[in-house]
Structure formats: structure tokens, C-alpha cells
Structure 1
Amino acid sequence: MTLSIYLSGEIHTNWRDEIESGCAAAGLDVTFSAPVTDHDASDDCGVAILGAESDKFWHDHKGAKLNAIRTRKAIQDADIVVVRFGEKYKQWNAAFDAGMAAALGKSLIVLHSAEHQHALKEVDAAALAVAETPQQVVQLLTYVQRGTLPA
């Protein structure tokens, strides 16, 4: 069974690469999708394509709507949504993606450090699994796909 996995959330570290390479090393039958992870491109896509805005609200609004087209499609098509909350920024978009995945009945895995447990308790409660490392996500996906435990 091929699993389609959407990797949402924090874009400033290589956690996606760790999950993708870990799944490849484990020989899992998975495909991945993700948001645009080029921060400037993601922020400026709306004005770059649809025209400049003098008000930052409308600048961000155009970009958010354009990015939402990609995000909605990817979440709808995914079998599993993995949402990573990083250390440096508040990822409100990641929380929104987790909520959307939960509302659509998608299998949700949340990834964050132990220090964020309290702040993310509602998001964690909607998840089917909460991991602290990308390696744990690979192990979760291995179990889901094969029914085997880590060696």
C-alpha cells in the first residue's frame, strides 16, 4: 500500500529531509508533498504574480490565499499529514493545517519538542500520534505500513 504523506509546518530546519531519507532507507512505499519551503517565495508569491500591494495586510493576504490552493489540495490528497512545530517561530499556519487535517478525518501525526506539550495540547489531542523526532515519525510510518516494530 503506497502512503501519500503531506509534510506541513516549520520550514527552517531539515526535518523533511530526515523523514524522506529515513523512509527511503527503510524501503517504505511512500510519496511526499509539502508546502513551498522557500520562505521569500511563499511570502511574496501573491504580489509577484498578481501585483504589488502597499498595505502589508493585503500583501500577506494575497500570498496566503495562493498558498492555500496548494495546501488544501495536498492535505485532501494525503493519507497521512505530519505537522512539525519548530522552536524558533510560532507556526500558526501549521496549527491551521493540523486543524484542517483533523476536520477532514486525515490521519494526523504531530511533531514537536517536549517543551511545547502544554502549548499544543489541543493540537496533540486531535493527533493519532505525537512524536518528538523525525526518526520517530519514520518508525511510526514503518509500523503503519508494515506492522513491524523498530529493531
Structure 2
Amino acid sequence: MGLNVYLSGEIHTDWRERIIDGAQGLDVTFSGPVTDHGASDDCGVTILGAETSKYWHDHKGAMMNAIRTRKGIEDADIVVVRFGTQYKQWNAAFDAGVASALGKSLVILQPEEHDHALKEVDAAALAVAREPEEVVNILRYVLTGTLPG
């Protein structure tokens, strides 16, 4: 049994790399959003033309990024959504809601300080992890039935 895992959420730390590196040897395929912040913000105007309004600039980019995000979440067996501390990740909350609405297995990765703010999101998840290594242990358990250490 292989798993398709979509890694959603903040793009400013190495959490994705820690999960991907830790899952070496497991039958897991990872996907996720474009993590180049500039490319993600500017894809719409670069491809479809400039906008004078920042709203429409961002709107074009959001729509183009949604094509990739929808496909990734729809194809996923598990959606991992990371909420970091540096920025508010409203898009991550939206991705968690989409994944939940589609009946995807949802794993939330967040620091304890977000517990209250994300209580509804956490209630929709099948697991809430604090560290990327816990996500790796979840994947290993699901695929092999073995516990860590």
C-alpha cells in the first residue's frame, strides 16, 4: 500500500524536508504547493498580464495556485497542514477545510500556542502533531504497523 501525501502550509521553515527525509524507504509520494514565495505571488501577472490593483494581482495568483492545490488535495490519501508561528496561514486553514470536506485523512502540524485558535481545524483532523518527525512516525505506522524506536 503506497500513500500520496500533500504537504500544505507555511513555507518559511524546513518542515517539508524533515518529513520527506524521514520518510525515505517508505512507499510515499509527496506533493505540495509552489514554495517559492515570489513565484507563487507573481504567477498570475507573469503569465496572464500585469494588474494595477494589488487585489487583482493577488487574485490572479491565487486562482492559478488553486489549480495546483485542488489537484494535489484531490489526489492525496493524507493531507498534512502545517501552521507555523511567523505568519498567519489563512490559506493553510482553507486547505484543511477543503481536505476535510473531501473526506481526506487530515494531519495538522502546529505548535502548542495555536491550540486554541485552531481548535475547530484540529477537531476535523485525525492527528495533531507538534514536530515533523511525529508525522513521519504516523506515516510509518500507517504503512507498516510498526511503532517508533
Say whether the fold is shared (TM-score over 0.5): yes
Structure 2 distance, partners of 1:130, 1:146, is 20
Aligned match of 1:56? 54
2:14 matched residue in structure 1: 14
Q: Deviations over 1:57-93 (max 9, x none)?
A: 0000000000000000000000000000001000000
Task: Find the counterpart in structure 2 of residue 95 from structure 1.
Answer: 93
Partner in structure 1 of residue 4 of structure 2: 4
Q: Corresponding residue for 2:66?
A: 68
Distance between the aligned counterparts of 1:44 and 1:119, measured in 2? 30
Q: Equivalent residue for 2:127?
A: 129
Unaligned runs of 5+ in 2: none
Give 1:14's aligned amino acid: D
Please tell me the residue identity of whatever aligns with 1:10. E
Distance 1:68 1:123 in 2: 20
TM-score, with normalisation over the residues of structure 2? 0.99
Instruction: Report the CA distance between 1:41 and its aligned residue.
Output: 0.3
- Name the CA distance, whole Å, in 2 between partners of 1:114 and 1:149: 23
Letter aligned with residue 32 of structure 1: F
Q: Give 1:133 deviation, angstroms.
A: 0.1
Structure-2 separation of matches of 1:144 and 1:119: 28
1:105 is aligned to 103
1:11 CA drift (Å):
0.3
1:125 is aligned with what amino acid?
A
- Opposite residue 20 of structure 2, the aligned amino acid is E
- Match of 1:17, as an amino acid? E
**What amino acid does structure 1 have at the position aligned with 2:36?**
D
Q: How does 1:8-47 map to 2 (within 5 A)?
A: 8-24=8-24, 27-47=25-45
Q: Give, in whole Å, the separation in 2 of the partners of 1:122 and 1:64.
A: 24
AA in 2 matched with 1:35: P
Which secondary structure does the structure 2 equivalent of 1:124 belong to? helix
Separation in 2, partners of 1:44, 1:122: 32
CA positional deviation for 1:148:
1.0
4+ runs of 1 displaced by more than 4 Å?
none
CA distance in 2, matches of 1:131, 1:65: 30
How many residues align? The count is 149
Give the alignment's Cα RMSD to 1 decimal: 0.4
Shift of 1:141: 0.6
d(CA) in 1 for partners of 2:119, 2:140: 25
